[in-house]
Chain A
Amino acid sequence: MLLAQLSLNALILGAAYALVAIGFVLILNATGAVNFAQGDLVMVGGFCGVGLAGYLPVSGLVLLPLVAVIMGLLGMAIALCAYFPLSRRPPEAMLISTIAVGIILQNGANLLFGPDAKAPPALLGNGDWRVGGLVLSQQGMAVLLVAILLVGSLQLVFSKTQLGRRLRATAQDRDVASALGIPVNTMIAATFGVGVALSGIAGLLLTHTFFVTPTDGGNYMLKAYIAVVLGGWGSLPGAVAGALLIAFFEVIFPSLPVVAPFLANVPGASEMFTQTASTIVFDCLVLVVLLFRPQGLFGEAMQVRP
């Protein structure tokens, strides 16, 4: 039962991480550049919920579409200010511009909301449901449901709609897409909008339970980056898998001596199965995976023709 409870907690955490990682991959695929502000955009999503709740005392579920729209517009603004002017420059220019965006967002949040941790309203409520010994928190279940709906909707949009096909074509080859009459810049701006909206939603989902401060972005960025590297650079299913792996490792690995009591008798178990050690072990595992599968778990092996 404990394992089931911990797995559920990890699934909820991983679902929110997956939204961050998907937003990261969408922008990566559309522009070919890493958006280093992605973590800070999660933080902005959390603060967006906090700010809106000050004017609209409603549940997080009502705020969610508003946060998505505001963050989507912010994403398009970032595309206009930090991507398009540099799109013909080397990738390093985009990298620096997104770092600058992150710094602006971080300090902007500090100026507007102060350095204190804050929490937006819960999506449904703070109560629990108890099912056969499992504690299902209303917030956790709402997070899981919203994340599944969003990932499913994205999958539908990308695979079944003309917009999705255009977005995918732009991501695959901008020049060819442009030659075919696809409005490439509009597609890129839309991708920024969707990617940033996903990060903002993830921020709203995560920060009711885990709070938000202006400096939280770096941590989310790191998780998204590792999820994408582990899952496969540019792969959407890989990003989801990577995010879930991170969450499961964070929650399950330190609890292993409780889940499997024989491990508690292993020499050094009390040092090995700690939160700190779990980070070290996880990063070592990422290195091992990359050693044997440099393309990541779901990535396609590619080689540049000389």
Chain B
Amino acid sequence: MRSILSLSILLSLGTATSSQAADAFVPVLVPVTGFLAVEGASQRDGALLALTNPPAGVKVRYDVSDTGTSPEVAVNAFARATGDGTAIAVVAPMLGTQMLALLPVALENKLPLLTISGTAAITQKGNPYVFRFFPDDATTKSAQVRFAIEQKHIKKPAIISQTDAYGQSGGAEIAKLLKQAGVEPAYQESVDVSVKDMSPIIAKAKAAGVDSLLLHLHGGSTALIVKAVAAAGLDWTIVSGSAISQPATVELLDPADLKGVCGETGSSPISAETPEIATFLADYTAKFKHAPDAFSLAQFDATSMLLKAMADGAKTPEDVTKALSSGKFKGLGMTYYSDGKGNMAHSAVVICYDGKSRIPAVAQHYDAPTP
């Protein structure tokens, strides 16, 4: 009841609509309230930056709806946004449970969904209308574990993951990859997002004799554990999940706390590796008054691929679906193409902090060979 009321208020306040009814319509359905609000806002802003700067000749109309945290709110938002039959594609929420609920509806309406959800199952259902522009756990966790073993030479890692679906799938992937590499975790723990005091985890990891932490946590928990390790003066190698690449997470920590901390991510726009990404960083920061993260860039690239398809003549949802499933697009973060299941992103990077600033450097690229 509480979340429904909350969402109703926000839905009425937080929408943005452009006005030209005859143009192609792209609903942006993203979670901008609830526990995924930070990431959802990044997704929204990435999409909006692309939609407000379409290629020459492309006219596009868009509308932002908050999907909150529940699947039914996402399905209702989808029904509202696509009810008049003018939508050509949908920027779909990054929350896996919402995506799973949207899959059958998208199939029924034959509407392509462009998402950055990391949930593996969404591209395992044989649905031809789903396109994921963020590397899945198999890609990012592989980068995380390979970097930890090959570059940091870890021997006795601890795996700390969140208790939710996100944490469980990532934690299991890390454990699987470590096993494949012949490395036995010295300690494993799952943490609820409400856990504030990380001292029990630190104490147990210390007692287990770990030399490193492999984290797969949301931003708040990641910041808490990095801070706790720094406060305890431990020199453990920390290779985190993508949360450590988010500017909002890094803002919570002193640069000194971050010394030597690394983490996987799809991309690191704040590192401005290329002139194109530097331009994106400047445009995004000027427009939204905060720095972009990997989710912003991924959704920007996804929406840009959609707009490119429209510029190349896609006029219907079927045209867009065909263009996305068979085309290749060189985005800012990587080159995107479908693996036949709708997985479009096949690269990851590992970033590291030097302890002097909150801007990480890209330490390693992990790219799948482009076909």
Contacts and interface: CB of A to CB of B under 8 A. Distances in A.
Contact of B204 (A99, A107, A135, A254): A254
B190 A99 contact: no
Contacts of A258: 203-204, 206-207
A275 interface: yes
Interface in A247-282: 250-252, 254-255, 257-258, 270, 274-276, 279
B33 A275 contact: no
B35 A211 contact: no
Nearest to B218: A117
Contact of B9 (A107, A114, A279): A107
B195 A250 contact: yes
A117 B37 contact: no
B248 A117 contact: yes
A155 B192 CA distance: 35
Contacts of A213: 37, 220
A6 to B, nearest CB: 6
A103 B3 CA distance: 8
Contacts of A250: 195-197
Interface in B178-226: 188-192, 194-197, 199-201, 203-204, 206-207, 219-220, 223-224
Given A111-B13, A213-B220, A215-B34, A117 B199 contact: no
Contact of B41 (A115, A119, A128): A115
Interface residues of B, number: 44
A274 B190 CA distance: 8
Contacts of B13: 111
B218 to A, nearest CB: 10
- Size class of A's contact patch? 35 or more
Contact of A255 (B5, B33, B190, B203): B203
A2 B2 contact: no
Given A2-B203, A6-B203, A258-B204, A107 B34 contact: no
A110 B37 contact: yes
Contacts of B195: 250, 275
A8 B173 CA distance: 36
A43 B37 CA distance: 16
B231 interface: yes
A87 interface: no
A176 interface: no
Nearest to A8: B199
A102 interface: yes
A275 B203 contact: no
Contacts of B188: 270
Most buried by B among A10, A13, A257, A275: A275
B6 to A, nearest CB: 5
Contacts of B248: 116-117
B37 A13 contact: no
A260 to B, nearest CB: 12
Interface string A1-24: 010011001100100000000000
Given A107-B33, A111-B13, A250-B195, A275 B201 contact: yes
Contacts of B33: 107, 110, 115, 215
Interface in B153-196: 163, 188-192, 194-196
A250 B198 CA distance: 10
Interface in B215-271: 219-220, 223-224, 231-232, 248-249, 251-252, 254
A252 B252 CA distance: 26
A178 to B, nearest CB: 34
Interface in A227-260: 250-252, 254-255, 257-258
A219 interface: yes
B203 A103 contact: no
Contact of A115 (B37, B200, B204): B37
B49 to A, nearest CB: 17
Contact of A210 (B9, B207, B224): B224
A114 to B, nearest CB: 7
Contacts of A115: 32-33, 37-38, 40-41
A152 B309 CA distance: 68
A251 B198 CA distance: 8
B192 A275 contact: yes
A106 interface: yes
Interface string B61-86: 00000000000000000000000000
A117 to B, nearest CB: 5
Cβ-closest 5 pairs across A and B: A115-B37, A116-B248, A254-B200, A210-B196, A255-B200
23 contacts: A6-B199, A6-B200, A6-B203, A13-B196, A99-B1, A103-B6, A110-B37, A114-B41, A115-B32, A115-B33, A116-B38, A135-B231, A209-B196, A211-B220, A213-B37, A215-B35, A250-B195, A254-B200, A258-B203, A274-B189, A275-B163, A275-B192, A279-B192
